[in-house]
Structures are given as structure tokens and as C-alpha cells.
Structure 1
Amino acid sequence: MNIAGRFAKPRPDPADIRPHAVIIGAGVGGLATGALLGAKGYRVTIVDPLDEPGGRAYAHRQDGFTFDAGPTIITAPWLFENLWRDCGGKLSDDVELRANTPFYRVRFDDGTVFDYSGDRTAMEAQIGLIEPQDVAGYRSFLEESRRIYEVAFEQLAHKPFHSLLFTAKTLAGLVRLGGYRSVYSVVSKHFRSDKLRTLFSFHPLLIGGNPFSATSFYCLIAHLEGKYGVHHAIGGTNALVRGIASLVTRNGGSIRLRETVREIETEGRRATGVRLASGERLSSDIVISNADPATTYGALLKSHPRRRWTDAKLARGDYSMSLFVWYFGTNRRYDDVLHHTMLFGPRYRGLLDDIFRKHRLAEDFSLYLHRPTASDRSLAPPGCDTFYVLSPVPNLASGTDWSEAAERYRQKIEARLHETILPDLSRHIVSSRIATPLDFRERLLSWQGAAFALEPKLFQSAWFRPHNKSEELDNLYLCGAGTHPGAGLPGVVSSARIVADLVPDPARLLAGTWHRQTGETHL
């Protein structure tokens, strides 16, 4: 099923004099930005090379199965409720979100199973079975997570860090929160058990961070999940994408699919529009890039003299890991497998060192298994199951030849799933496809095939991350995983709201356009 035609709109009416915003990329960040700008009074055009909206949140449909390509864990549902409200709609009219209970099941390498949830009594009972003394540590960790959340998320996640003055004003509070520490070091302060240290520190991996180097601000995820729960969308995460895309088109926006931006055109300190691979030029009043910032600056602005995000600086950046993802459908159901399962391998720190520091593809792995048909049978044919299994792997700095390594790696993962939670798997596979770091580079235009842009370390976060208001051009803005506040669905939606607050009021822009046309310069 191809749904692209549902979103593509005819070329805009020349009589439409609203200020024009061109958005590069129809990922969740670009779509949310487009929806907000349309509601604000802009004429919006979103350009994307794929055949459907979504970017990393694309959906593959084959053999009767629907595979969410990327994000599957939805937290902070109120962010989406607010997005719909501000665009004149109601989330529940377009998308149904349901809570997952438990959030996910964790299986350690020795077979120990832990059901992670927001039920503190159940959590403490399981913790007590592993290490009784860590029950108190769990309570103190949640308290620290709450304190971090209230500052790093509630106060700062929706604020732009493009001002040194603002950064300086917030610095003292950030230091008090201990942002210079890693997630793992904070977790280790509260827990004695290595298993529990792993359990409560792995969350940064869901947004591209190494728990041993990611800033401790990401400890807020524990409180975020506990407060709002973990949810999924009926129809898959891409149903949420399609809902946001409809917000764009309802306000007269256009989503141009199968078209690639080759260059952001500039004049002095201003972007004048974009040039497509076809040679067509789209002029605009403002440009927003939902692309990887390294691609934005290193490819789309390669001819523009840059002061901060130079080629040398981009090359020095530490980029997130990539992902190996195997999507598969089975002709039987595995009803004892939950919607979300984490399967930890024999190593933790050593494996992450291989992935992030040594850029070496290891023989062992840890896995995330997604079985959405545990909650939504519409995503597979009757009596069947839809799965994807994800393994964090080094980005393309590893030099791995994935054209040769991919099938061997997939077979190892298949064997591991067979021996742990999916018995007789090979006999029941009826649909299969894979994605490797090459897909992230070639299909999603991600720098070095990194799945989450720059790694979220302290000195690659907040002010040190590519700003939402570009440092290079006065009317270029950035949204999505590679800018502040970072990856993950809450992060990219927050980045969209930041951009919507930063752009000029369209009424003032419209007045300025009129004055320029009449030879006056009042703006």
C-alpha cells in the first residue's frame, strides 16, 4: 500500500502571499515543525526523498506485514496532545495511543527476567530478589531522576541554547544537577548490583548515547517513563507520523515526496531557498532543516563559508552508534513475548567500548526485540506475528563491509533469538528484510551512517550541539534528533516547538515583503 498520494498537494497558488517556509526532511521533527508553522500562518513546503513521510519513523509494508522502521517507544504523550491542540485538532480524533504494561521485559544473559514498569511495588519486589540492599537505591535514584527531569526536561528541553548569556545563566543549575557525570556513574551511585546498574543505565542507547559517556541529564528518562508511561500507537508508530502529516496538509501545507534537496541557496547571511536534485529551485523566506546537521552543513551548505560548523569541526565530532535492524514476519504467534523486550548479552561496558570507542563490530551483541502484534494484530496477517530486532553496532567509521557482513550477522541474531525466546524461529519466517548502517547513510542521508547524529555527550549537548537557530545563516533553523534537545520522539517534537517559537512572526515577514516590493525598508 502506497500512501504518498494522500499527502502530496498541488503546487501552491501564486496568489497565496503567506511567507514561505521550506522544510528539508519529512521526519517527525520536520513534520511537527511544518504543522506548527502552518498553524502560525506560514505557507509550508516539506521536501523528502522517500516515498512516504516518516524519515526514521518510516513504515515498511510487505507480505501483509507492517514494520515500523525506527522509533517504537512513545513517551510523554502530552507533547503530541499539545501539538494537535495548537494545530486546531485533537490527537484522539486521528491517532489512538495505548499504554504498555509492563513497559518492557528485560532478559539478562543468564536467563534472569525483569519486567520494567511504573509500578513501584512490583519493581521493588523484583529488585529485592536480585539485591535486597538496592531497593533503597532504587528509591533514591528515582528521586534524583525526578530532580533532573524538573530542570533538564520541564525547564530546558523546550528552550533554545543559541545564546551564550542564556547558557551562562543556566550553567550553575546544570552543574548542580551533575551534568558532567555520566548516566552510568550516577546509576552506580545508587545500585550495587551489576545487573541493576545495567538495567537502570541502558536508556541512553535508545537515543544514540553511550551510558558510560552520555551526560547524566538522561537519567531523567526513568522519571519521565514512570510519570507518563510507555505507549504505542494503534497501526504502528507510523500511524502517528501520518497523523502529523495530516496536520501539515490541513493548514494548506505541501509534502513533496521522492524529491531531494541538493543545496541550500544563500545570499550573504540569508538562505534564499533550496535547489532540488531535479534542478528546480524553491524560494523561501525561511529554511528549516530536519536533516542530520552534519549533512546540512557539510553537504547542503558546502559552498557557503561557515564560521562554526566547518568541515574540520564536523570531522572531529563524535557521532552516535548505528543500528542493524532485521524485520521479519512469522506464520505463527509467540504469545509469551511482550511488545518490547530487551535481551542483554554477556558484556556491557566491553561491548559499548567496541561500539563507541573502538568502532569494532563485536561477535556478541545486545538486542531490542519489537513485537507490536502483541498489542495490535492488524499489523500482521491472521495467526502471524510482526517483529523487528535491533542491534546497536558501530557507525561506518568501523570500516565494516556490510554488503558482506550483513547476512552472517543476521544469522547469528536469528540463532540467538531461537535459543532464548523464539523457539524454532527459522521454520516460521515468511517475510524478511534488513537495514544496516549503509541504509542510514544512503537512504536517510545520515553522516557516517550514525543513527542519531552527534552522540549526546556533555560537550555535544545544549549550547555545544548545533543550534536550533543556525549560527551560519540568519534565517536557517534546525529541528530533529541532531539539534537541541536531542533524539527520541519527545526530543524531536520539542525541537519543532523551539523552532516555531524562534521563527519571525509571519505577519511581520509579510509586511516586510510588501515594504521591499514597494521600495521601502521598514523591516
Structure 2
Amino acid sequence: MTPDSAPPVHPRRKTALIVGAGIGGLSLGIRLQSLGFDTTIVERLDAPGGRAYQKRTPDGYVFDMGPTVITVPHFIEELFALQRGQGMLDAPDYPPEILAPDARVREGQSGGPHTQNYVQLVPILPFYRIYFDDGTFFDYDGDPASTRRQILALAPGDLPGYERFHADAQAIFERGFLELGYTHFGDLPTMLRVVPDLLRLDAVRTLFSFTSRYFESPKLRQVFSFETLLVGGNPLSVPAIYAMIHFVEKTWGIHYAVGGTGALVRAFVQKFEELGGRVRYDAGVEEILVTDDRGRPVCQPLGRRVARGVRLDGGEELHADLVVSNGDWANTYLKRVPAAARLVNNDLRVRAARQSMSLLVVYFGFRKDGADLDLRHHNIILGPRYEELLTEIFGRKVLGADFSQYLHVPTLTDPSLAPEGHHAAYTLVPVPHNASGIDWTVEGPRLTERVLTFLDERGYIPGLRGRLTHQEFITPDYFEGTLDSYLGNAFGPEPLLAQSAFFRPHNRSEDVKNLYLVGAGAQPGGGTPSVMMSAKMTARLIAQDFGLHPSLWSEKEGSAAD
């Protein structure tokens, strides 16, 4: 055979290692496989999910241990639609058809055709029932007529303020989410170009201050500001750009994966493996391997630094063309990247960043005993104090005399999560992270008892103490130990203005070539939709850095452009 007639030689496939099989790591894994990479995800736990880990108990209960609110089903559909060799990174982020009001939500349907092949999504209405300490409540369902009717009943003088809030929150949503949501702020000029718009929209003041401009009623100020707590943000501190959450939920609704969020996680694993990806469990990472250009260990903070792979806890080394951390941002750098390789993300900078609050979460099962629950799938139970309590949690870092909580009762929608005749529930209480010095071996059981007694005696679940059949809880120690989260934070860096956009950890490491971040700790931030957005942003950076374009990939040829 002459040289001219020899078969073409294709370059080897690029390889990728992702640390952590949370929703961010799995979403990115699916995208990298669709781009033609050979991707392995290493996970320190015995099953996927990370913060979205799902626990099954011997007595028949199933508990989602983390996120339970699913919105923007288009993001999920986009992942399930990907195919090997069809990365679709140049497709519109928000096709016009997904911005139109979707009547299917109110007809009991969720998810697109590809999603339905993997997991069943159903809409949840109302989105939340928000209980106030005096026993009244507000059902937030995104329906303008229902919202206005409830405002008229609760604080009629605030209806004009709601109309202004609605218009201004929509403007923030259109600019901050639809236009800028997928922007990776990798340099300061990119950030500076959007500052005039943020100032014009009044999106840089704090969310609670922003909300207070429109509502005199303390109750309505709470209704339209509490949601940032579900992504680790203090309404008194986060910028008002987070008012867009109101419109994200209003536009696409709140959804539930039948079988729990764990069912969505398993579906992502299935899709990832169908595309040829591999997940290794019980595979914690001791170190991200960083060398200089010649493959030598980095021993001084100057010169070129390149990620080459990881060393697992048992000493095994895995090598790849790129490494992505879906783990905690602070501990990724403090524990796993050599100090000599970190100029930007040095110890001083990382330790100085303000971390989000943590959580006490109580998982419990109880007998129905023939009694109907006057609760909804998602319940926000606010305590007698709002601003003062937030200051204690985020500022003073102490446990207060009262608390607020998010009570999740998925068996109202999906009885399969509990034995017949029983309910499964969890209730989540924001608490300070472990910089507080609180001894959770003492305070965890105490607070758990207070919370369960409150639900019983205040009539949210009458007779709960006598109906309990299962009870366990986690504290900031779980986040710090099991999930390896710095100071036991539950959501990564706190989403302050000074820790947003360019000032939030970058998805492409500023210190180490071929090292990337994905998930709640990176841009754009915490929350399930943002984590999936983070995966797409990181995939685009990787495609750019490796000189790839989706149209250049051909599964038939079995090769990728170098």
C-alpha cells in the first residue's frame, strides 16, 4: 500500500476526568461525551448525586437529601436530547418556543419528548405555600390573577406596588437571565460592560431593600424575597438581580421528578453511560495532579502549570487531557491543588471568601392514621422574625430562639416514597456554617426535637410525635465531612454582589491550564438550574480551549479535531 492510499489516521480521543457525580458533574459529563471526549467521573460516595444524594432506608422510606425544586425543564430536555457527536453548543440557549406560556404545566404535564424517555416530570401547584407565624398563608403559584387576589386579601394597598415589582422583576429576568445567564465573566471588561444595565435596573441594591420599595406589608416583603435562601443567599445581602427567580419560576413553573430528585440523577447517569461515559464510586480524590510543561511536579509559584489527572485516596493515579472539579470550590483549591500552583486562588483569597449558610435537615416518616394533611408539596414556614433571624444566621452565626423552615412532603404527590399508609417528609432549617463553633453533636438533636415538636404542637402535622416511624437528621458536620464542603457550607460561596459574576470563582481555572470548575461554587451560582447552566458554560470553555466546534465532530469517523 502506497502512502497516498494508506487509511487516514485519526487523532486519539481527548479524555476528561470529572471529580464529583453531582448534578453539575453529570450534566457536564453528558455534554463532554456529546462533544466526543472520553469522560470518567470519580465520586467519593457510594452512589451519584452529591448534594442531591438519595437515601433509601431499611424500613421503606426514600429521602432526597438535597434539592427538591426543579424548574426550567428545557435545561433537562436539552441534556437528554444530546447525542454522541452532536454537542449542540451553538444552538440557541432559549429557543423562542420555550418562552411562550406553556399550558401543559396546568394540564399536568412536564418535560419534553426526550426527557420522557428517561424520567417523568410533573408540575407542582402551588409552587409554595408560605405560612406566616400568625397562621395565615400565601399560595404562590405564578398565576397573576391568583397572586393579585391574594394580595388584595392580605394587603390591598400593596397591589399597585406588586404591578411595579412585576414589571421591574421581568426586566431584570430578561436582561440578567435570558441575555446574560450564560455569560462567563472571565475578565473584568466583560463585567464592566454590563454594570450600566445593572445600575439602570436597580439590580445591585440588596434584594430585600429592592422588594421593600414596592411592598409596605412585611408579609409580602418576605413572600417576594425568601427564595434566595433556597440557593444559599441571604435576602438582606444578595443583589436584587435575584428578583429574576420570581420570573424563572413564573415562566417555567416548579416541577417534581417522580421517584424524587434521585430519579433525575439516575436518569442523568443512564444518559451519560449510554453516551459511553464511565462513573466510578467510592473513589475520593486526594490530589489533582499538576505539573509544569515537562511533566515535572510544580514546586514554585511561577511558570506554566497544567492539570494532568488525579490521585485517588488509595494512591491510584488517573491521567487525562483535562480535569474538572464538581466539588466544593474552596476545598478543591485548599486540599487538592498544590499551593505552589495557586497564585490567584491562594489560601488567603479562598479562606477570605464568605461561604453560604448551612442547614439542619430532618428526614422523617410518619403514619397517615386516616388524617388528611392540610399542607402542600412545598411549604415555607416562616418564624416570628425575618430580618433579625437572617442576621443571626449569616452575620452573628448563632442559633436563635426561633427558626424558619422549608417543609417538603413529596408523598402528597408521589406515595411511592413511603410504605403504604405513611408519609415521607423532610424539613430544612437554615443554620450558621461551622465557623460558628457550634457543637452539632449537642445542638443537632436539640434543634431536631424543637422542630418536630413545633410541627406537632402548631398543628402543621397534628399528633406527629405519636405517629413518627422514622427520624434522622444531618447538620453542617455532614456537609463538612461527608460532602467535603469547606466550613460545612451548603451552597458554596455566598451569592453576594462582591462574589457574583467576575468575582465568583471562574469555571476555567486562572491558575492551572486544563483545570475547570462546574457546579454551585462556580459561575453562575447555586440552585439546580444554575448548576446545569454552569455545565454548559464550562463545556463551551473546554470546546474553545481545545479548538473544537460541535460541527467538527463526527462519530462516524470516530475522531475529533485537535
With the length of structure 1 as denominator, give the TM-score of the two structures.
0.93
Q: CA offsets, 1:131-176, max 9 Å, x none?
A: 1111111121111111111111111221211122322222222222
Deviation, structure 1 residue 302? 3.7
Matched, 1:327 2:351: no
Structure 1 residues 508 and 145: CA distance shift in structure 2, 3 A: closer
Deviation, structure 1 residue 101? 1.0
Deviates more, 1:66-75 or 1:171-180: 171-180
> In the alignment, is the contact (CA less than 8 A) between 1:334 and 1:422 conserved in 2?
no
For 2:80, the equivalent position in structure 1 comes to 84
> In the alignment, is the contact (CA less than 8 A) between 2:373 and 2:461 conserved in 1?
no
CA RMSD of aligned residues (A): 1.8
Separation of aligned partners in 1, 2:309 and 2:491: 26
Please give the residue correspondences for 1:84-233 in structure 2 after superposition, counting only pairs within 5 Å.
84-87=80-83, 90-233=114-257
Q: CA offsets, 1:3-41, max 9 Å, x none?
A: xxxxxxxxxxxx994211000111100000001000110
> In the alignment, is the contact (CA less than 8 A) between 1:18 and 1:506 conserved in 2?
no
Deviation, structure 1 residue 508? 5.3
What is the aligned counterpart of 2:53 among 51, 54, 58? 58
Deviation, structure 1 residue 122? 1.2
* Residue ranges of structure 1 left out of the alignment (5+ in a row): 1-14, 510-521
What is the aligned counterpart of 1:316 among 332, 352, 376? 352
> In the alignment, is the contact (CA less than 8 A) between 1:334 and 1:385 conserved in 2?
no
Separation of aligned partners in 1, 2:363 and 2:546: 47
The AA in structure 2 aligned to 1:348 is Y
Separation of aligned partners in 1, 2:156 and 2:535: 43
What is the aligned counterpart of 2:400 among 335, 357, 362? 362
The AA in structure 2 aligned to 1:69 is M
Please give the residue correspondences for 1:444-459 in structure 2 after superposition, counting only pairs within 5 Å.
444-459=483-498
Structure 1 residues 507 and 189: CA distance shift in structure 2, 3 A: closer
What is the aligned counterpart of 1:484 among 501, 505, 523? 523
SS at match of 2:185: coil
Structure 1 residues 344 and 507: CA distance shift in structure 2, 3 A: closer
Matched, 1:419 2:414: no
The AA in structure 2 aligned to 1:273 is G
Runs (4+) of structure 1 moved beyond 6 Å?
none
Deviation, structure 1 residue 245? 1.1
The AA in structure 2 aligned to 1:68 is D
Structure 1 residues 46 and 186: CA distance shift in structure 2, 3 A: same
> In the alignment, is the contact (CA less than 8 A) between 1:104 and 1:340 conserved in 2?
yes
Matched, 1:380 2:414: no
Deviation, structure 1 residue 505? 6.3
* Residue ranges of structure 2 left out of the alignment (5+ in a row): 1-9, 85-112, 293-304, 549-560
Matched, 1:410 2:414: no
Q: CA offsets, 1:241-282, max 9 Å, x none?
A: 111111111111111111100111111321011100010001
Deviation, structure 1 residue 306? 1.3
> In the alignment, is the contact (CA less than 8 A) between 1:361 and 1:398 conserved in 2?
no
For 2:322, the equivalent position in structure 1 comes to 286
- Aligned pair count reads 498
Structure 1 residues 506 and 165: CA distance shift in structure 2, 3 A: closer
Deviation, structure 1 residue 405? 1.1
Separation of aligned partners in 2, 1:411 and 1:168: 49
Matched, 1:22 2:26: no
Separation of aligned partners in 1, 2:156 and 2:75: 37
> In the alignment, is the contact (CA less than 8 A) between 2:339 and 2:346 conserved in 1?
no
For 2:500, the equivalent position in structure 1 comes to 461
> In the alignment, is the contact (CA less than 8 A) between 1:266 and 1:304 conserved in 2?
no
For 1:435, the equivalent position in structure 2 comes to 474
Taking only the aligned residue pairs, the percentage that are identical comes to: 42
The AA in structure 1 aligned to 2:495 is P
Deviation, structure 1 residue 507? 7.8
For 2:342, the equivalent position in structure 1 comes to 306
Separation of aligned partners in 1, 2:159 and 2:198: 27
